[in-house]
Copies of this chain bind each other. A is one copy, B any other.
Amino acid sequence: MATIREVSKFANVSVATVSRVINGNKWVSDATRDKVLAAMKELGYKPNSFARSLATNKSHTIGMVIGDLSGPFFGKLMNEAEQEIRNAGKHLIITSGHDTVESERDAIDFLLQRRVDALILHLDVLPDQDIIDIADNSGVPLILVNRLVPELINSSISLDNELGGYLAVKHLTDLGHTQIATITGPLYKADARARLSGYRRALEEAGIAYDERLVVESDFQEEGGIAPVERLYRRKVKFSALFIQNDHMAFGAMNTLKGRGVNIPEEVSIVGYDDMVMARYVEPALTTVAVPVAEFGKLSAQMALKLSANEPADVQNLRFVPELVVRSSTAPYRKK
């Protein structure tokens, strides 16, 4: 691939002049500029971003680590963030953490080696201390999405998952349910733990004792909704309502329940979490907890851009509040 030097020879000018043309420096005569532009076109020249970044010590790039590249949640997050960053004339490099400590660390290393101007991190398993170390020592500003590390409270954008769980279950207790089962995500994820503790708080508030047998841990995947339902039945515990920690699992669970001839919501009320677009298309339409993902993505990108420009980003523990969306999968408790 052609270099600036070849272009300069071809156009009979110095490398400095070519560089000036590339960077839109105004001290170049029109004639020269045209010559250089023609040479660049002729040789198919594309600036080498490595050399450029090396010389300027700027990458014009924001790095993002997320758990899973598929998945509607992250999709929206990425999309919004990318829009915002592209609009600012920069670029986003996305890597996946794959839910393992090693992979998350590797992803961050990759971005750090690429000297990104800022990091947007959605980390599921990396220990707090590691994150703090990166914040302290990497020299790169960072935004923490959907995770609260007390020491980094000023660069966290998080969702109050505890409140989300609470709202979901409170809705059920308000409807008169007292036997409320729950299907959680993997409990090594803070999200899942927080939602579970919201579940407990709502029960407590309603004076209902916490019963371990009503809790099944799963994996946040669609298929993850199926087995847990079977397990609940095998445990022979009764429940008239089910709080499922994300919509994906809820869809799977609803299907299994229907397969068993259970009427929703007459016999079992169901609340999901995330408010995916599909939530309103299943039958019955799913009552769920809405999460402002798009805002999330947009805001994190804006913050990252600000921080990378050394502007103060008054993040101040931005904590989004989830909202309950009531549809048709929940109904008042009725005795059988």
Contact = CB atoms under 8 A, between A and B. Distances in A.
Interface of A: 1, 44, 46-54, 59, 68-72, 74-76, 78-79, 82-83, 86, 91-96, 98, 103, 106, 109-110, 112-115, 137-139, 222, 251-252, 254-255, 277-278, 280-283
Nearest to A276: B278
Contact of A48 (B49, B54, B74, B139): B54
A69 B48 CA distance: 26
Contacts of A47: 113
Contacts of A93: 93-94
A46 B113 contact: yes
B75 A79 contact: no
Nearest to A252: B281
List 4 A-B pairs, minimum CB-CB distance, nearest first.
A70-B75, A49-B113, A69-B78, A283-B283
B103 A86 contact: yes
Contacts of A74: 75
B70 A281 contact: no
Contacts of A59: 50
A110 B79 CA distance: 17
B69 A72 contact: no
A114 B49 contact: yes
A112 B92 CA distance: 15
